[in-house]
Amino acid sequence: MVYLGNEELVVLSWQRKMLSKLNTRGEILKAVQFSEFYQPTDVAVDSRGRFVIADKTKIFIFDSNFKPLLSFPVRETKGAEVKCVGVGLDDDVIVGTTDELLLYDGAGKMLRKLNVSPPGTVMPKVGGRFNITTVTCDVTTGQIVVIFTDKKMDRTNIGVISYKGDFLYSIEPGPHEKFMAPCGIFVHKNKAFVTDFERNTVRSYKYK
């Protein structure tokens, strides 16, 4: 889900493979089913009003009228699945997968991998260590804020990464606030707001 302003928001249904625009009263303004969706999981909107949609193994970009413009595959790690998407600076596309965090330009060109762990972290020989659950970009600083699970440690934290791709630090929730199923993140005024649908909560964390 993404809020567009003017009391309008866009919702992505993975079960119905449908993108819908509705108002805050719950009235559907526009909806489209797209046969090429396989397992859509996340949607973001860029500065041009384009909708960036994460599917299982690729990214789709639609215009503001829900017409498909382009798509590109995410193939950096064999077997990884796309979990989330965010919009970066200059309408770059930030992609979180079950293995890593990646940055593409708005046309689908791979720019670089982004580190969600300090230098020297031991990585597996096959696949990645970090499952990226949700991602956003603080456009005022260029910092990328994610929620990720360290599969080796079975621990889910908030990570803060520079736009160049350097790991800066992580925030670990308290023992009674551990994430169960984080599904969204939003940054505003030095705080990261995190939704967790299993806990049915929204929590805020200072990250600067």
Is 89 in a helix, a strand, or coil? helix
Phi and psi at 139, nearest 5°, equal -70, -15
Per residue in 158-196, pLDDT (tens digit) is: 999 999 999 999 999 988 889 999 999 999 988 999 999
The tokens describing 116, both together, are 């969600």
- Mean model confidence pLDDT for the chain: 93
pLDDT at 142: 94
Tally the domains of the chain: 1
Per residue in 42-81, pLDDT (tens digit) is: 999 999 999 999 999 999 999 999 999 999 999 877 789 9
175 alpha carbon, distance to own chain's centre: 25
Instruction: Kindly list the distances between the CA atom of residue 96 and the CA atoms of 8, 9, 84, 111, 199, in Å, as whole numbers in the listed order.
Output: 26, 22, 5, 14, 22
The tokens describing 78, both together, are 């064999």
93 in Cβ contact with 52 (< 8 Å): yes
20 in Cβ contact with 13 (< 8 Å): yes
Instruction: Kindly list the distances between the CA atom of residue 150 and the CA atoms of 34, 84, 117, 159, 177, in Å, as whole numbers in the listed order.
Output: 33, 16, 9, 11, 17
CATH of the domain at 144: 2.120.10.30
Query: Which DSSP category does 47 fall into?
Result: T
The domain containing residue 140 runs over which residues? 2-206
